Amino acid sequence: MVLLKERISDHILWVKINRPEALNAIDFEVMEQLEEMVGEVEKDESIRVLILSGAGEKFFISGGDLKKFHTIKSKEKAVYKAKRMQRLLSRIEQLPCWTIAHINGDAYGGGIELMLSFDFRLSVSGAKFGFTQGRFYLVPGWGGLTRLVEKVGRAKALQWLGKSEVNSANNVLAHGLIEHILRGDNPQEETLEWAETLTKNDREFIHILKEGAMRFTSHREEALEAEVDPFSKLWVDKQHIDRVDAFMNKKK
Q: What confidence tens digit (pLDDT) does each residue in 152-188 have?
A: 999 999 999 999 999 999 999 999 999 999 998 999 9
- Sign of the torsion angle spanned by Cα atoms 60, 66, 67, 70: positive
Tally of residues, the chain: 252
CATH number for 3-199 (one of 1.20.272.10, 3.90.226.10, 3.20.20.150, 3.40.50.1400): it is 3.90.226.10
Q: Which of 19, 112, 101 is nearest to 67 (CA)?
A: 19
Confidence class for position 15, pLDDT limits 50, 70, 90: very high
Rounded CA-CA distance 106/98 in Å is: 23
Average pLDDT over residues 1-17: 97
pLDDT above 80 for 251: no
Q: What is the mean pLDDT of the chain?
A: 96
Measured between alpha carbons, how far is 126 from 6 in angstroms, rounded to an integer?
Answer: 25
Query: In 10 A of CB 59, how many CB atoms?
Result: 25
Degrees, nearest 5: CA angle 94-227-221: 35
Hey, what amino acid is at 180? H
Closest to 15 in 3D by CA, of 109, 97, 110, 132: 97
pTM: 0.96
Instruction: Using pLDDT thresholds of 50, 70 and 90, give the confidence band for residue 216.
Output: confident
* pLDDT attached to residue 44: 98
Assign 215 a pLDDT band (cuts: 50, 70, 90). confident
